[in-house]
Structure 1
Amino acid sequence: MTNPVTPTVPTTRRAVSAPVPAYAPTGPGVLKFGGSSFTSHAAYEELARALAGRLDAEARPLAVVVSAMPGETEGLRERLHAVDPHPSGDRVAGLLTLADTISAHLLTAALHRLGRRATVLAGHEAGLITDETFMWARLERIDPEPLQQAFAAYEVVVVPGGQAVDPRGRPTWLGKNSSDLSAVAVAVALGAPRCEIHSDVEGIHSSDPRRVTGTRLLGHVSYDDAAAVSLHGAKVLHRRAVRLAEEHGVTIVCRHNRPPFTPGTVIGPGGGRADAVVLNLHSLVLRYHDHEEADRAHRAFRSDGVDTIRLDDAPAVALIGGYVDHEASAHRHGIAVGRAAGIPVTEIRGGRTTVHVAADEAAAVRLAQKLHDELPVPRPTGVPA
């Protein structure tokens, strides 16, 4: 990785809690708001007011990375697949990213209505350059100049998440849930020491709190452990975002996406061990005839930029997070089509990672609960080992 530098809207104003950090800020603040932040069109106005409050409180500009409204991307995907069941990567990247662009313009319109100077830098304008893989593209270069020029004229720059271009200027897509990666890349471009990730949970939990009871919020997590839970399917953060943050010394602060924007997990150097059970019902285990076939499939998926786990004890590969047309990928690479064999449930305990396979969604949830119940309960802070 190289870096060229060492939301109907009422007219009356009302006070809204602003997501103000507890440290002394310098330079533009970098914030990301996921799709769950925009459950209605009124949510854009609410967020715009919160951002205006933060602008007034901190007297510094803001770079805001946003995702699409829930269901928008999948709606575009369904329309595309209705026309072509196996669309090419350039068609997917060119169409699906429009959902995030719409979200960015809606937030910018809400900011304009409040009298704020805001603009949108879409993927072809933001200075994020990838390889020539249209889907799950790998970020190769970050040009800070477009963002720096934008801040010369605007106090808020809104960036649609997951978008970039290849060296020839063609639209590329950084992958599912890649707004995190966009946000960290923006932080790198601006030299920001922190990047705030706002979502419907305050951070990384010991398991999915929507599916598993008794989960714990992890307060301070190392880059390595955050990347591990992400690689195995935890949806809080994008794995490449964690690694990019580590490479450039950017601390990631996870926060809730509603006032008062409660902080949660901090990811950075010196973080503690994260014992966790990762459950992602969109993930899929594919089984092959033998280990050689499984190895070839693993290499092929990885070459496409898809996160996969090669299971050691079986000729099988876990596709993490779903949204992969694995049959089309197999045909494209001339490899065998894997047979769906279940859902992976990953146990991370004491630095050791074990991938279990459950037959279906109900079994996966039961297994995750059992494994989580068996995790050691961490000692309270201040109690000696």
Structure 2
Amino acid sequence: MNASVLKFGGSSFLDPQDYGRVAGHIAGRLAAGEKKIVAVVSAMSGTTGNLKAVMLDVNKQASPSNIDAALATGEMLSVCLLEAAVSRLGIPVTSLNGYSLGICTNSDFGRASLENVDSKPIIAALQAHDVVVAAGGQAIDRSGRLTMLGRNSSDLTAIVIASMLEENACEIYSDVPGVYTADPYIVPPAQLIPEIGYGAIAQMSRHGAKVLHHRAVNYAERHAVTIVCKSLTGDGAVTGTIVTGHGNARSVTVARDAAVIACGSFAERDNLHALLDRHDISTICTEVNDGPSICIVADIDFAMRLVALTGTRLIFIGSRTVVTEIDSSVLRVHLDGDYERAISLARQIHEQMYPGAVDEISGLRKAKQRSDYSSLLVRENNAPRNPK
């Protein structure tokens, strides 16, 4: 089926009016001659964190399946808002969420893995409508329970849908137009990378780069889907990076709040590293306080559940910021307990990689923004309760 697949991250929706802006972009694409569009959306910026905080405020031992069901409502609301905005323009539109997308996973709640897909529901939706709005990052398991694919996994949903529809490209929209040699919000001289290979960006993602989800990149490579990174500006869409089968660039990544765990022996550490690696969780074998330890870069909650199932008793040492130098196949990893010092190190490393580089995104926001409206969806922990 001839359909364009576009993914809009949470940074695209800082304000309810942004749904109208995205709807206008979709309308423009249709007016220019495109036949069908699938828009995959994330929750409004800040919503997922709010929802999880409230869930744990109600019950710190809430089950993973209960938390997944709650977190999914963030994307579901975003889907409804974009569907309403597109419908307002008189465009035939419908929406699909995890229950109806045709994507089935295992039951690893919090970070489920794909098992099979069924393209019939989305094809039927596209046959009846010009636009289908799909909830990112969610699916169902074999029992029909809703599962989440992990944080920032709407990319994966979009790539899966593109593959289901046999489309050879997928557009990913975020608050920056592409992949940079470092996070441009914390390393201002970061340079835009026009083209990069699947393996290179997946490696960057595994070590902290957030512009693309590494599982989405791996899926795109296996199914030959080209990723086109874009940003939606007041002047229209700006294309920054194309992810294909080749291309490399030196880079430095920063991963904040990585968890460092002390292990009883080097053999125990190696076994845990192998276990987490089988589940595609980024870890670093290290030594802290002269003892074997392992640093879990992301998906920490899910990783700790896996470790608990082994019966291994670990000691949490603390959080670290991981700074990684990536130069072809060479990785140099630095762990620092002080975030500001880690940022300073990342800037020094980037300056050594790209001496004299200038700020390329001076017109963009210099700090990531969180939607002021996400707090309308759930009560924040420090908000006063209404008196009875």
Question: Structure 1-normalised TM-score?
Answer: 0.86
Name the structure 1 match of 2:293.
316
Distance of 1:330 and 1:261 partners within structure 2: 43
Q: Does 1:153 align with 2:120?
A: no
Distance of 1:208 and 1:66 partners within structure 2: 22
Tell me the CA shift for residue 152 of structure 1: 1.1
Alignment of 1:189-204 (within 5 A): 189-204=164-179
Q: Deviations over 1:29-79 (max 9, x none)?
A: 000000010111111111111111111112311000000111111111011
Conserved in 2, the CA contact under 8 Å of 1:162 and 1:178? yes
Distance of 2:348 and 2:262 partners within structure 1: 25
Distance of 2:18 and 2:305 partners within structure 1: 38
Give the one of 263, 266, 291 matched to 2:239. Answer: 263
Amino acid at match of 2:13: F
Name the structure 1 match of 2:369.
none
Tell me the CA shift for residue 330 of structure 1: 4.6
Name the structure 1 match of 2:112.
137
Secondary structure of the residue aligned to 1:78 is helix
Conserved in 2, the CA contact under 8 Å of 1:273 and 1:351? no
Name the structure 1 match of 2:341.
363
Tell me the CA shift for residue 321 of structure 1: 3.6
Tell me the CA shift for residue 296 of structure 1: 4.2
Secondary structure of the residue aligned to 2:32 is helix
Conserved in 1, the CA contact under 8 Å of 2:286 and 2:295? no
Distance of 2:85 and 2:97 partners within structure 1: 17
Q: Does 1:174 align with 2:152?
A: no
Name the structure 1 match of 2:384.
none
Distance of 1:372 and 1:226 partners within structure 2: 17
Conserved in 2, the CA contact under 8 Å of 1:344 and 1:355? yes
Tell me the CA shift for residue 328 of structure 1: 5.8
Tell me the CA shift for residue 341 of structure 1: 5.3
Tell me the CA shift for residue 178 of structure 1: 0.1
Alignment of 1:40-59 (within 5 A): 40-59=15-34
Name the structure 2 match of 1:334.
311
Amino acid at match of 1:284: A
Distance of 1:59 and 1:331 partners within structure 2: 50
Secondary structure of the residue aligned to 1:374 is helix
Name the structure 2 match of 1:163.
138
Tell me the CA shift for residue 214 of structure 1: 1.4
Distance of 1:165 and 1:273 partners within structure 2: 36
Tell me the CA shift for residue 340 of structure 1: 1.4
Distance of 2:177 and 2:42 partners within structure 1: 17
Tell me the CA shift for residue 302 of structure 1: 4.8
Name the structure 2 match of 1:14.
none
Name the structure 2 match of 1:211.
186
Q: Does 1:375 align with 2:349?
A: no
Amino acid at match of 1:266: I
Q: Deviations over 1:278-302 (max 9, x none)?
A: 1122433334343233234435545
**Unaligned stretches of 5+ residues in structure 1:** 1-25, 380-385
**Unaligned stretches of 5+ residues in structure 2:** 358-388
Secondary structure of the residue aligned to 1:152 is helix
Task: Name the structure with the higher strand share.
Answer: 2
Q: Does 1:236 align with 2:217?
A: no
Name the structure 2 match of 1:351.
329
Greater mean deviation of Cα atoms: 275-284 or 113-122: 275-284
Name the structure 1 match of 2:199.
224
Q: How many pairs does the alignment contain? A: 352
Distance of 2:275 and 2:61 partners within structure 1: 17
Greater mean deviation of Cα atoms: 360-369 or 338-347: 338-347
Q: 1:245 to 1:322 in 2, by over 3 A?
A: closer
Name the structure 2 match of 1:108.
83
Give the one of 59, 63, 77 matched to 1:84. Answer: 59
Greater mean deviation of Cα atoms: 151-160 or 345-354: 345-354
Conserved in 1, the CA contact under 8 Å of 2:106 and 2:112? yes
Secondary structure of the residue aligned to 1:230 is helix
Tell me the CA shift for residue 117 of structure 1: 1.0
Distance of 1:350 and 1:244 partners within structure 2: 21
Conserved in 2, the CA contact under 8 Å of 1:229 and 1:278? yes
Distance of 2:355 and 2:48 partners within structure 1: 39
Name the structure 2 match of 1:307.
281
Name the structure 2 match of 1:69.
44
Amino acid at match of 1:311: C
Tell me the CA shift for residue 142 of structure 1: 1.8
Higher relative contact order (CA closer than 8 Å, sequence separation 6+): 2
Distance of 1:326 and 1:82 partners within structure 2: 22
Distance of 1:196 and 1:313 partners within structure 2: 41
Q: Deviations over 1:73-109 (max 9, x none)?
A: 1111011101221322111111111101100010001
What is the root-mean-square deviation of aligned Cα atoms in Å?
Answer: 2.2
Name the structure 2 match of 1:12.
none
Conserved in 1, the CA contact under 8 Å of 2:259 and 2:300? no
Amino acid at match of 1:261: A
